[in-house]
Amino acid sequence: MQWFNLLKANMRKEYIELKRYLPNTLAMIFTFYIIFLGMFFGISIVGDPTTVDSNIQYAIVNYIFWFLAMMIVSDVGWQITNEAMRGTLEQLSMSPMGIWRILMARLMSTTVINFFMIVVLLYLSMLTTGQWLNIDVISLVPILLLTFVSMFGLGFIIAGISIILKQVQAFLQILQFILAGLAFVPISVAPFLTYFPFVKGVDMVRDVMINGVTLSQMAGMDFVILAANGIVYFLVGLVFFLYCERVAMSKGLLAHY
């Protein structure tokens, strides 16, 4: 029940902030749409005409996942920085639920709310390009859920860094390009990326949305790798954050910006 109330409160908080600062929310969506239009026209004009349709489909999936990864992974770092600037970071640590549970609830809330914006961007992108992807909900949902687990772990790592360093804006900007690389480079080109967070999930989603692969056609080992990747990164991220939290508490960094 405590977890449910915590999740409900953070879901309401995220929704109110997006609604209250609606111009900023719309500007964020519009900016990413403009970035996609640049990619689309670049592929259409410069790309090989024989493969332009396939390249556009890949661009849609990759750019959607890039946006989603940034919203989930980077947002938690910005939240830690904002809490520190407002002087409320120490209050979070005094909560009976603890900071990590609050951040977990915020990660889940951010994912749910931003997912609706992702769906809007996805259909807007398909409408713009005329390339309609295979939206197989039954196949996509389990892949996405396991992919989100590794994203949450990466988010905890960013939160751990932020809780000690506070000023991480430049790092978060660099992180955007790292996430773009992870989202855009296929595993077939760089097989070692299988061991990086959420890359395997993006590859499997591409198979479903572009190649029309169904859940029953996927190898069981793919799901084993995806699940193991998510669990490992989530545990590593959580342990790293808890360690950083103890360091911050011992140095008195929670009370000061």
pLDDT digits over 57-78, tens only? 888 888 888 888 888 888 787 8
Whether the per-residue pLDDT at 256 is higher than 70: the answer is no
Residue 90 and residue 80 in contact, taking contact as beta carbons nearer than 8 Å: no
Burial status of residue 165 (CB atoms within 10 A of its CB: 0-12, 13-18, 19 or more): middle
Nearest alpha-carbon partner for 149 in 195, 213, 104, 208: 104
Q: How far is CA 42 from CA 29, 39, 53, 170, 187, in A?
A: 20, 5, 13, 28, 23
Instruction: Specify which of 3-12, 127-136, 149-158, 176-185 reaches the highest per-range mean pLDDT.
Output: 149-158
- Look at 122 and 224; give whichever has higher pLDDT: 224
Cα dihedral 3, 106, 62, 238 in deg (nearest 10):
-70
Region 30-59: mean pLDDT is 75
Placement of tokens 């996927």 in the chain: 218
Residue 163 and residue 45 in contact, taking contact as beta carbons nearer than 8 Å: no
Identify the pLDDT of residue 243.
93
Whether the per-residue pLDDT at 208 is higher than 80: the answer is yes
Query: How crowded is residue 85: how many other Cβ atoms within 10 Å of its Cβ?
Result: 12
List pLDDT tens digits, range 113-152.
888 888 888 888 888 878 788 888 888 889 999 999 999 9
Specify the pTM. Answer: 0.87
Average pLDDT taken over every residue of the chain: 84
Task: Give 180's contacts (C-beta < 8 A, 6+ positions apart).
Answer: 66
Helix, strand, or coil (residue 255): coil
Phi, psi of 252 (to 5 degrees): 70, 30
The pair of three-digit structure tokens given for residue 178, joined into one six-digit string: 């790292």
